[in-house]
Structure 1
Amino acid sequence: MPPPLSTDTPAEMQELASSVRHVEAASWRQRVRARGTAWLWQWAAVVPALIVLVPMFGIVAALGAGDAGTRAVLAHMLGTVLPEYLLNSLRITAVVAAGVSVLGVGTAWLVAHCAFPGRRLFEWALILPLAVPAYVTAYAYTDFLQFSGPVQSALRAASGVDRLPWFPEIRSWYGAALVFIGAFYPYVYLLVRTAFIERGRRLFDAARTLGCSPWQAFARVALPMARPAWVAGVALVLMETLADYGAVAYFGVPTFTTGIYRAWLSMGDRVAAAQLAAMLMLAVLLLLVFEARSRSRLRYYGAGARRGGLETRVTLRGARAAAAVAACVVPLLLGFLIPTAIMARLALQELDQVPWERYGGWVWNTVRLAGAAALVAAFAAVLLGYAQRQAPGRLGRIAARLVSVGYAIPGAVIALGILGPVLGLDTWLGDIFGARGLVFSGTAGVVVYAYLVRFLPAALQSVEAGLARIPPSLDASARSLGVGGWAMLRRIHLPLLRGSVLTAALLVFVDVMKELPATLALRPFNMDTLAVVASHLAADERLGEAAIPALTLVAVGLVPVLVLARAIARGR
């Protein structure tokens, strides 16, 4: 049967066509608006990254700058001291990498796989050294092990000799390596412990049923599956080691970082220092690339296990249990208990020597700088993380990766990278307004900016983890109700992200309080922080007076560490 003839009038057909065109136009406008909104969110992710990358651009730009004086300074350093600086850095990092691997992997395996007295206590106590800055540990061990310290004094009194030529010198490159091992091994411990718990649990048991001994199953199955976490932890430790200035400067061990300071402050050539900083930044970036490539080539997929750890634990008794306890006690003593006890003893002996009338000012300077940096970093992390969620794409991922590089750059390098653009901005403003002087240089704002460049990645990681726990269906439901963009962030995401944002701010606050190189280089005149005061007093051999600000830093650093310990206890 033929289809019925249409009874629509020409006017009705025109109205229908107009309606169709109207719907198509509205759909086109909606697509254009969505694309425009996506671009806006992508630029919201790119802008913080560009701001953070300005110091890196300043360092790279210094490679093409300089004059004959700069070349003379670099040639002089290359012919005299630079090889020694490089050698010290290489051997310290080699020993530190081996030491944190042994302590971190060994303790992680014991608490994840074995049952022995005190295991649950060591599970979270082994991260306590994260609360003690490396330079504070250096102060403590110097007082304890130097010629006039209690250890050598007691040995000389017991042996009846005036000197102990066989006693190792703590102020040496291997002394610095020992301090870094005790301070940084928790990075490897945390990552590898998680890998042991989450990967290869049943595979390890399967290897045991196939006749492998515990050591063979560990070496052939568990350790290879934890290799990505192991490599990532060691890379993080090496970046922290290369970034350190306080410990090596106090020990008098010239490293590449101290060479940057000497070219800058002793020889008065900021461009030469920036070029040395560019070399160090390149080494750090190569380390990051190596770590990323080593993980990208490894893919491990394992079946999940019951909450609470491994299906089976090896119960240790007798001498083996005592050895396991000793293996966990040694790094805890090395990195936390001994340094804290030594500094507490010194503080009690010198309480009357501390200028308490100035102590409040030091605390206030530290708290306001750390508080400002924490607020700015938390805001930038929320903006960057939420922008990636609203407009996921390659541009946002690249921006996040570039921002993460800042954590790997030493504070001295960041300070040099900031000074060039800031001084140029001051000169430009002076030419415009006909005034000479420092508008931005030497202000607290520049110091906070350096902290943002250095520690924004830590805040971003916490915020991204919080955003990952919010299901995308919640965003879709909000959009269906007419809530999107900033309103969705304000009304939905921020209430759900409260814990993650507070954690991010807390992490940045504590890291800023302990930061020394960038603060030393950029702080305004007469704005000393606890870290700067402790460094100056220790350099003047007034360790008793330095103990009070150092212990204050340790006490504040314990806050996020205890929060992390509580999370570990909950996740057993």
Structure 2
Amino acid sequence: MKNASPAASPVSAPPLRLPRIALARWLTGWRLAAFLVSLVTLVPLVVVLSSFLYPQSEVWNHLAEHVLPDILLNTLWLSLGVAFGTGVLGVTLAWLTAVCEFPGRRFFAWALMLPLAMPAYVTAFVAIGLLDFTGPLQTLLREWFGSSAWFPRIRSRGGVILVMSLALYPYVYLLARNAFMTQGRRALEAGQSLGLSRRMGFVRIALPMARPWIVAGIMLVLMETLADFGTVAIFNYDTFTTAIYKAWFGLFSLSTASQLASILVLIVFALVATEQRWRGARRYQGSGRSQATTYRLKPALGWTVSLLLGLFFCATFAIPLTQLVVWSASVFAEEFDARYPMFIWHSVLLSAIAAVLVVVAGLILSYALRVYRDWPTRFFARLSTLGYAVPGTVLAVGIFIPVAWLDNRLLAWLPQLGGSGGSVLKGTLTVMLLAYVARFLAPGFNAIDSAMQRITRSQEEAARGMGLYGWRLLAQVHVPLLRGGLLTAALMVFVDVMKEMPITLMTRPFGWDTLAVRVFEMTSEGQWELAALPAVVLVLVGLLPVMLLTRQSGQ
């Protein structure tokens, strides 16, 4: 009887308290801040995926019969076509500018990245305006040959695949070129010593070594393709993003939009998981230095390559930009009125606020990882950056639902808060800004964290020796040293928000039209000339981060 029961034993009581004490000690300070930042992405994803827990048979029957077959097939063909097109274009152009020597190589090395400054939906309506039946090209062909019926239709699946491939290939080009430039001479020279020609050396040595970078670029392209709304809307090519928009604003059914968004989230997560598993199973390394062998092409071949690249550059950037300028000049006098300063002001203000919010959130995440290196903190940071892989339409739905729920609860508790509008949070900038932060936190965080990694531990220890800790250490040591990374993050987010379309369309308050919204309104009515004026502003602003990326790539 001396042995007491386990409940009476003194060693059985502490375990009941330790988890709560450990959790309270763990979820404090920067960990708590990182957790709160991750909620901006976690909440909309959970809300969208939770729609599976409350299935509506009539909604699913309608989707399965009238919606899902077409949008699944269209999304599949679009993804495969754009992945193939950008892969071929990006890898080919990267190899030519990184390894081959020909006239104009240095110019094309950075000029081929300029299409990244032009939003895909801008490229789309310029292509339709130039290549459609009533466009100048087919009109000229009819004058010359009497008919243009043989000319391929631009308003087709092949047309939208071509336009998106031309707009998105710089993602693959940038990463593949960096890979080819850092492979070093020895690998290719070893292949040549074994009897491999330059062509076979590319196929059997350079290409496999660059495969992780190429796959990463194609994954970025696939994410952009799945998230695209403006391009497919201009082409009237139905995908998940257009179906979500039509369900919300056409059928006025938020539940249908949520069901469609949940399917798209699962597809995106499957792609991310596949890419992560594939990358984790393979390890490739380059030399880490720009030591790629440069082959001088024969004069005839070199000038041929230079001519082809010149035509390609004109088709992807120079001609579209020129056409935008011509259209803008033709309508500037009558179109540029008192509304346009408001469009520009709304775009700049929203972009600036979003950039500040993202920089603050990214700094919190990066510093939390600096202070704590445990897996939960890394998990929160990883979770916070998943929003970039999620389409804007999904984030708009996922954030609007909980904000609407909270809005209704606030009105039930304090009816006087609603005023004459009958809402507290709905109809304000809250939903839009939260969606911006969730969508663009990844590029902001990556730029800040890359700069954070360059701060040595010895600098922090020296500052602590001078009595700096906590917020003072961050403000007086880290922030000044992170100035370049913070500026890069703010600039990238600013331009991304300026060009962003679906979130702005679906969550903007009444009267808060932006340049991107103006482009959508004019292109939806087929008025390409009127859409050109705001598009020119977006392209010029988009050149800033492209120049920055070009400079970093050259270094």
The alignment's TM-score, normalised by the length of structure 1, stands at 0.89
**2:279 is the counterpart of 1:295:** yes
Give the equivalent residue in structure 2 for 1:502.
487
Distance 2:324 2:111 in 1: 19
Deviation (angstroms), 1:36: 5.1
Q: Choose which of 499, 517, 525 in structure 2 pairs with 1:540.
A: 525
Distance 1:490 1:332 in 2: 45
Deviation (angstroms), 1:331: 4.2
Distance 2:415 2:284 in 1: 63
**2:162 is the counterpart of 1:183:** no
Deviation (angstroms), 1:304: 4.7
SS at match of 2:338: helix
Give the equivalent residue in structure 2 for 1:150.
136
Q: Choose which of 239, 247, 250 in structure 1 pairs with 2:231.
A: 247
Report 1:209-358 matches (<5 A): 209-305=193-289, 308-310=290-292, 312-358=293-339
Q: Choose which of 387, 408, 423 in structure 1 pairs with 2:368.
A: 387
**2:141 is the counterpart of 1:160:** no
SS at match of 2:426: coil
The more displaced of 47-56 and 373-382 is: 47-56
Larger Rg: 1
**2:524 is the counterpart of 1:524:** no
**2:96 is the counterpart of 1:138:** no
Deviation (angstroms), 1:288: 0.8
Q: What are structure 1's unaligned runs of at least 5 residues?
A: 1-31
Distance 1:391 1:419 in 2: 33
Give the equivalent residue in structure 2 for 1:490.
475
Give the equivalent residue in structure 1 for 2:37.
48
Give the equivalent residue in structure 2 for 1:79.
65
SS at match of 1:527: coil
Give the equivalent residue in structure 2 for 1:12.
none
Summarize deviations over 1:426-476 as a string: whole Å, max 9, x none: 011011113552211121122111110100101000001100111122112
> Is contact 2:40–2:434 with CA below 8 Å preserved after alignment?
no
Deviation (angstroms), 1:37: 8.4
> Is contact 2:41–2:386 with CA below 8 Å preserved after alignment?
no
Distance 1:285 1:427 in 2: 31
Taking a change above 3 Å as real, the CA distance of residues 457 and 302 of structure 1, as seen in their structure-2 partners, is closer
The more displaced of 75-84 and 440-449 is: 75-84
Distance 1:86 1:421 in 2: 28
Q: Choose which of 411, 421, 426 in structure 2 pairs with 1:441.
A: 426
Deviation (angstroms), 1:38: 8.7
The residue type equivalent to 2:412 in the other structure is D
Distance 2:183 2:424 in 1: 54
The percentage of aligned residue pairs carrying the same residue is: 43
Report 1:82-121 matches (<5 A): 82-121=68-107
Distance 1:299 1:564 in 2: 25
Summarize deviations over 1:42-96 as a string: whole Å, max 9, x none: 22222201222211111012222354xxx32332232123211111111111111
Distance 1:196 1:52 in 2: 35
> Is contact 1:188–1:233 with CA below 8 Å preserved after alignment?
yes
Summarize deviations over 1:116-152 as a string: whole Å, max 9, x none: 1111111111111111001100110111011111000
> Is contact 2:396–2:431 with CA below 8 Å preserved after alignment?
no
Deviation (angstroms), 1:383: 0.9
Distance 1:353 1:248 in 2: 29
Give the equivalent residue in structure 2 for 1:11.
none
Distance 1:224 1:440 in 2: 52
Distance 1:294 1:322 in 2: 39
SS at match of 1:81: helix
CA RMSD of aligned residues (A): 1.8
Give the equivalent residue in structure 2 for 1:58.
47
Distance 1:254 1:37 in 2: 47
> Is contact 2:120–2:231 with CA below 8 Å preserved after alignment?
yes
Distance 1:429 1:303 in 2: 59
Summarize deviations over 1:469-511 as a string: whole Å, max 9, x none: 1112211222233222211111111101011101100100000
> Is contact 2:171–2:221 with CA below 8 Å preserved after alignment?
yes
> Is contact 1:200–1:221 with CA below 8 Å preserved after alignment?
no
Distance 2:551 2:369 in 1: 30
Deviation (angstroms), 1:320: 1.9
Summarize deviations over 1:495-539 as a string: whole Å, max 9, x none: 010111011001000000000001000000011000001110111
Distance 2:458 2:305 in 1: 47
Large movers: runs of 4+ above 6 Å: none
Give the equivalent residue in structure 1 for 2:542.
557
> Is contact 2:178–2:553 with CA below 8 Å preserved after alignment?
no
SS at match of 1:199: coil
Distance 1:562 1:41 in 2: 34
> Is contact 1:45–1:387 with CA below 8 Å preserved after alignment?
yes
Distance 1:360 1:267 in 2: 33
> Is contact 2:45–2:395 with CA below 8 Å preserved after alignment?
yes
Give the equivalent residue in structure 1 for 2:4.
none
Taking a change above 3 Å as real, the CA distance of residues 381 and 269 of structure 1, as seen in their structure-2 partners, is same
Distance 2:392 2:40 in 1: 16
The more displaced of 539-548 and 492-501 is: 539-548
> Is contact 1:58–1:420 with CA below 8 Å preserved after alignment?
yes
Distance 1:45 1:530 in 2: 33
